[in-house]
Structure 1
Amino acid sequence: MRRTRGVLYPARLPEFHRLPPEANARDLTVWFWIPEWNVEPGRSSRQDIVGYPALNLVVEQGAVTLSGATTRASHRDLSGSGWAVGALLRPAAVATLADDPAALVDDEAIIDAPDLVSAVGAAMRTGAGHRARAVTAFSDWLAHRVGRIDGAASQANALVDVLMGDHAADTVEEAATRLAVSVRTLQRLAHRYVGISPAAMIRRRRLQEAAERLRLDAGLDLSALAAELGYADHAHLTRDFRSVLGIAPRTYRAAAGEEPAEGAGP
């Protein structure tokens, strides 16, 4: 998965880092994401995101929040100064954190984890290398919390790799064939470990790819893009864009093209 695919307006990001997990958490986390911001008084920085179909575990402001998969674009307005350390979770990490991931879709829950808050907070308050130390502390906590992963959790990880990774499957049936399981098994794994259906995961990947391609190529033909990404036609792509982002692809492309250069102010 490309690291800016889910960010709709990358030039608006505060100082933002994505770091790989430690070896003990590679089956549990795709990456850790760490924004740090210091916005001028009286101003704010809006972050628009169409998230990956996955759960995120986030340490911020003395609390730990588990956020479910999303079905629509979301935003957050940053003000003042602060930081967050989040883990984009792989399915294998989910079972010990949420009994029913589907109940967290477009929602979030507070996780009682004072030891994680303490460890990550202490790391972020240190000097140079603080982000790497925060990732180490977070990785260690996850590895201890989850323990040994079972066969179903490993299958769920493979499911997400097939649906969201490089050379991803275009249909649920193709994904099931690659994994040598039934479509029904695929659906059960997605419900238990992600909270949304495999078909919804494919739709989200296509939409993220469409948004990224539109940002990078101002002259891209929308009909050709729709065909390349597996949409029935240009109208299908437009409906999907509107249903999730609330705007048409052409409108989004124009707005993304007007963004300030990377590294500019909020």
Structure 2
Amino acid sequence: MIEETRQVAQDSRGIIEPAAFLRRHRLNRYPAGPALDGLISWFWVVTWSLPPGVTHTQELLTHPCANLYVSPPEPTVDDAHPAPPVAELEGVVLNRSSRRMAGEGVCVAAMTTPGGLGAFLPGPAGEYNDRVVPLGTALNTDDARLVAGIQQEGDEPGKVAVLRSALENAVRPERAETARQVAAVARHAETDRDLRRVEQLARRAGVSARTLQRMFAEYAGVSPTWVLRRYRLLDAAEAVRHGERVRWALVATELGYSDQAHLVRDFSAAIGSTPAAYAGAQAG
């Protein structure tokens, strides 16, 4: 059983106000494993225990990925008792997302790679953008069995192993190779700061820009340009969190924005505050 964990302190990209999150939750990350390498970025488990009557709403700037998870549903105002966990797929979220939590709970999840979701689906990944659906509806998994299996496990690695096994069985072999190709290109977009345009990504992949755009539309659900810009926004938010000075004009130029104001507007729409206000909140 794979038991390696990756703490959020090493990488909080996507978690808005990570310090507040860590005061109320525990988050561990686990590797995908050989069979899902290139399709799943990592598994993650969040646990929380809040006092009666206390709720926490966590805002997220999601990676250009989908999440496949088993978790208690979000509580409503009238909830007197926690609802049983459900298995769901959340597609790529194009703007901010939020999650409301109360009481005690555990969420066991897998974050796909950009493109990895396409290996589990018969059609375009974009059909699930900004949507949450039962996992079995999209992946043909036995959700009741999956939820029960996770609940029976007493520790996090065991719970992750149950979800890992279900996803390994859900992979469509005829689509896995192309999904991994898209994920590899997206990895370049994430890590190589010299890549700024779709044409550069296409040359790296050895295909035409039009072909790459079609591959991303089918397997990632978003365009290569959108992936590039989302990763740079995540990087910028993480840099601000660590108190680093972000040269916004340079970032805007690298990403092809007409001016710095357009980048700041995108950051504000994604994060919910201007870069200066977000930096001040992190320092506080």
TM-score category, normalised to shorter length:
0.7 to 0.9
**1:4-27, Cα deviation, whole Å (9 max, x unpaired):** 111121112211111112222223
Distance 1:12 1:63, change over 3 A: same
Q: By how many angstroms is 1:244 displaced?
A: 2.2
Query: What RMSD in Å do the two structures reach over aligned CA positions?
Result: 2.3
Matches within 5 A, 1:27-42: 27-42=38-53
The one-letter code matched in structure 2 to 1:4 is S
Q: By how many angstroms is 1:39 displaced?
A: 0.6
Give SS of 2:127's match: helix
Q: Give the TM-score normalised by structure 1.
A: 0.85
Matches within 5 A, 1:45-56: 45-56=56-67
The one-letter code matched in structure 1 to 2:135 is I
The one-letter code matched in structure 2 to 1:87 is A
Give SS of 1:84's match: strand
Aligned equivalents of 2:218, 2:18: Cα separation in 1: 32
**1:70-128, Cα deviation, whole Å (9 max, x unpaired):** 111122221111010110013344343463321221121112222322222222xx1xx
Aligned equivalents of 2:256, 2:209: Cα separation in 1: 20
1:84 corresponds in structure 2 to: 107
Q: By how many angstroms is 1:220 displaced?
A: 4.7
Q: By how many angstroms is 1:192 displaced?
A: 0.9
Aligned equivalents of 1:48, 1:98: Cα separation in 2: 31
2:29 paired residue among 15, 18, 31:
18
How many residue pairs get aligned? The number is 252
Matches within 5 A, 1:211-230: 211-217=237-243, 220=246, 222-223=248-249, 226=252
- Alignment check: 8 A CA contact 2:47 2:104 kept: yes
1:134 paired residue among 130, 146, 159:
159
Distance 1:98 1:37, change over 3 A: farther
Is residue 240 from structure 1 mapped to residue 240 from structure 2 by the alignment?
Answer: no
Is residue 163 from structure 1 mapped to residue 186 from structure 2 by the alignment?
Answer: no
- Alignment check: 8 A CA contact 2:116 2:220 kept: no
Note the residue ranges of structure 1 that are not aligned, 5 or more in a row: 259-266
1:263 corresponds in structure 2 to: none
- Alignment check: 8 A CA contact 2:126 2:217 kept: yes
Distance 1:94 1:114, change over 3 A: farther
1:115 corresponds in structure 2 to: 145
Identity within the alignment, %: 31
Note the residue ranges of structure 2 that are not aligned, 5 or more in a row: 1-9, 73-84, 137-142
Aligned equivalents of 1:26, 1:209: Cα separation in 2: 23
Aligned equivalents of 2:134, 2:36: Cα separation in 1: 21
Is residue 184 from structure 1 mapped to residue 210 from structure 2 by the alignment?
Answer: yes
Is residue 249 from structure 1 mapped to residue 275 from structure 2 by the alignment?
Answer: yes
Is residue 99 from structure 1 mapped to residue 123 from structure 2 by the alignment?
Answer: yes
- Alignment check: 8 A CA contact 2:16 2:271 kept: no
Aligned equivalents of 1:54, 1:37: Cα separation in 2: 24
Q: By how many angstroms is 1:218 displaced?
A: 5.7
